[in-house]
Structure 1
């Protein structure tokens, strides 16, 4: 039997969890905080594979093992690896208080509507994109992925709550800082979790201490509302100029090919009204909209605000405006112009997964396709022609044809995507 005990965050290790153990495994601080049974071997966790091999030797010999872990070891913890290796039936899991729960408790906020993302031993970009996209995020930190690195990647509209040494009666600290303040400090190794808040988009019950606490209604499902009730919204849902907007039929297929999801970064280049940008943000992605027209920039911001999503707007002309942006997972290119091949090529060089291009002019299709294939993407596309029901006098209906649009999409080969992700 392997007893897995959640320690720290104010949760003491019960004496019976260690009684009879012949091997006790854990981080150095957890092992130093307990008294091992007489004769028990102590194994400080380092690389996981050798530790699992040692545990396996004890299990095969029917010798009891206790594993000490932080908080709830079934929440981004060692239970997953132990269950995969030895089977869940061999585990006696005794969870403590998760660091995320403790952090939210310290600041007096509920967390059933929060996104929890681990940056411990993982790519920081996923945590950054989630923090950009959502108003309430808890980040489990790690070396090279702590408050300083998060702060350096985030804008001033966020607030970071840094929780260190949770459960330690002497060293525990919970500090509220701006991203710039976080980036300027050396936080050491005691940070447990960072809570990232965008208070401008938080519901009343999720505001920081001192704010309004009116609860609009009871929640039923935990987690953020990352899937809206519908997408490919009607054009009337957006502010736009003279019907210069990606029509919902085109937007529906574009969204399907872009595949925006939690943790992604999407560019909307030549964003116009920002309808694609807003829809990607509603589906959970972090989004940057690039637009050269000043009035277009204001429309994008207004549409994002109307739909309560965060869209970073860059006022500039592609491809030059793309140079300082983080690499995207997916890109939507709208509009046209003589720079289109260069814009598509620049996007294809940077995109980790896919690029989707909408074109009204047939003359520009070959150049856009060549730009995608020249970057090593597989390329496909369709000509979309639709006709909508429109009323006529006498309570009859006609079909009103919309302008045809070419939609091209390039996808990076899977092996290349995996290489980029590493």
Structure 2
């Protein structure tokens, strides 16, 4: 690509008019690229070539032709807010190189929305649902108390509210979320900021003026002071595979720390994903997955177990949706397929439970078994759903003190851990030209 012509990228801010420097850059440009409303509001001379942004590829090609052909004058790209934040700067840098860009950011819609809500946002998670699957944003909203969602067609407040409306509304569940819907930010005549419940959001037609929705747990929205912005990188102090005494449990009926460590490694819970813990018992696996940032549903058939799971989630400061019911029947009521599922416990229904999870899991299923007799059926259920199956027998011995200031090794019960991983979809064959 010839020459060193710069590409000036101007963020117009949220409702802010172009400043003097930006107006001068537009007036001296050879090519101005922008959305229809940006071009209409900018003082673009009639002699300057204009490209209206729609699909991104044609606009990038127009810029390339201008630069390659030695077009007269520099290129100016007009964008909303901060164009380096989920904006056009990424595409421009990938195509033309960051050194060629002169980026002049404005106030992003996300920053403006948090400002209108009167909340700091260095501890918030920002998710884009614009042109992307909504499920990631929904799972982040389920798991995190402070989220900004950039909306798009088919992924606005109504769709987000509908996905969150069926969450339990108790004091210890993700159903206590509220949505702050920001419409027409920066427009002095049309700007509206409304706080609604997910159900209220789902029942309304919001039009096309919404650019960002804040999803909040009001009790935790202000948040503590932070050193590192964004969501926590992983579990807080104490790491993971916490000792059994970190959880309330009945008669040592809990997935042991050593087993939990490998189960977590195979489950790979992370922000934006959904994990099922089926036959959850004390909910130790569910809580640990939530501490990694995943949205979690724990399914438990006993009423006292349900209470313990909720208590353990509250004690560790995480949100876990608890479903009181027996699998596999209770799984039919879960609308969203999990990315990963953990199956604990046992019983004659275990193969059916594993099969139900394996049919719906997008990525992996992990099964913990104490009984040797149940291993073949569980393995067959994983394989029958098309998963690649592997496993291990875990046997560990812990240091245990004895009188006389000496130590022995105390063996824990051996546990089989099986896992099934969904193989990647075959790549599409290339087309010969």
- Which interval holds the TM-score relative to the shorter structure? over 0.9
TM-aligned CA deviation for residue 240 of structure 1: 0.3
Conserved 8 A contact 1:353-1:417: no
**Residue of structure 2 in register with 1:137 after alignment:** 147
In structure 2, which of residues 227, 240, 245 is the aligned counterpart of residue 220 of structure 1?
227
Task: Check conservation: 2:183, 2:211, Cα contact below 8 A.
Answer: yes
Match of 1:284 in 2: 293
Q: Secondary structure of the equivalent of 1:415?
A: coil
Q: 1:43 maps to what in 2?
A: 51
Say whether residues 1:79 and 2:89 are aligned partners: yes
**1:289-333 alpha-carbon deviations (Å, 9 max, x no partner):** 000111100100000000010000000111111112110000000
CA distance in 2, matches of 1:29, 1:145: 22
Give, in angstroms, the shift of residue 416 of structure 1: 6.7
Q: Which residue of 2 aligns with 1:380?
A: 390
Contact 1:352 1:417 in 2 (8 A): no
Shift of 1:417: 11
Paired with 1:81 and 1:33, the residues of 2 have a C-alpha distance of: 24
**SS, match of residue 54 in structure 2:** coil
1:4-403 correspondence to structure 2 within 5 Å:
4-13=9-18, 14-63=22-71, 64-154=74-164, 155=167, 156-200=175-219, 202=220, 205-206=222-223, 218-228=225-235, 229=237, 230-325=239-334, 326-403=336-413
Q: Deviations over 1:249-298 (max 9, x none)?
A: 00000000000001000000000000000000000000000001111001
1:417/1:58 CA distance change after superposition, 3 Å = closer
CA distance in 1, matches of 2:356, 2:36: 48
Query: Bigger shift: 48-57 or 295-304?
Result: 48-57
Check conservation: 1:8, 1:166, Cα contact below 8 A. no
Q: How far apart in 2 are the matches of 1:61 and 1:410?
A: 55
Q: What is the number of residues matched between the two proteins?
A: 406
What's the TM-score once normalised by structure 2's chain length?
0.91
Name structure 2 gaps, 5 residues minimum. Answer: 1-5, 168-174, 429-433
> Equivalents in 1 of 2:348, 2:60: separation in Å?
59
Preserved contact between residue 164 and residue 192 of structure 1 (Cα < 8 Å) = yes
CA distance in 1, matches of 2:424, 2:16: 44
Question: Is the 1:18–1:36 Cα contact (8 Å) retained in structure 2?
Answer: yes
- The separation in 2 between residues aligned to 1:31 and 1:132, in whole angstroms, is 39
Q: For 1:17 and 1:414, locate their aligned partners in 2 and report how far apart those are by CA, in whole Å.
A: 48
**Alpha-carbon distance in structure 1 between the residues aligned to 2:290 and 2:151:** 25
Distance (whole Å) between structure 2 residues aligned to residue 115 and residue 169 of structure 1: 28
Give a deviation string over 1:181-206, Cα, whole Å, max 9, x none: 11011111111210100123x16x34
Paired residues of 2:13 and 2:105 also in contact (CA < 8 A): no
Are the equivalent residues in 2 in contact too, given 1:226–1:282 (CA < 8 A)?
no
CA contact (8 A) 1:130 1:137 kept: yes
1:273 alignment partner, SS class: coil
> Aligned to 1:300, what secondary structure does the other structure show?
helix
Give the TM-score normalised by the residue count of structure 1. 0.94
Instruction: Work out whether residues 27 and 43 of structure 2, in 8 Å CA contact, stay in contact via their aligned partners in 1.
Output: no
Give the stretch that moved more between structures: 400-409 or 19-28: 19-28
Quote the offset at 1:16 in angstroms.
Answer: 1.9
Q: Deviations over 1:57-111 (max 9, x none)?
A: 0111233221111110000001000100111111111100011111111111000
Distance 1:51 1:323 in 2: 46
Encode CA deviations 1:125-158: one digit per residue, 9 max, x unaligned: 0000000000000000000000000000113411
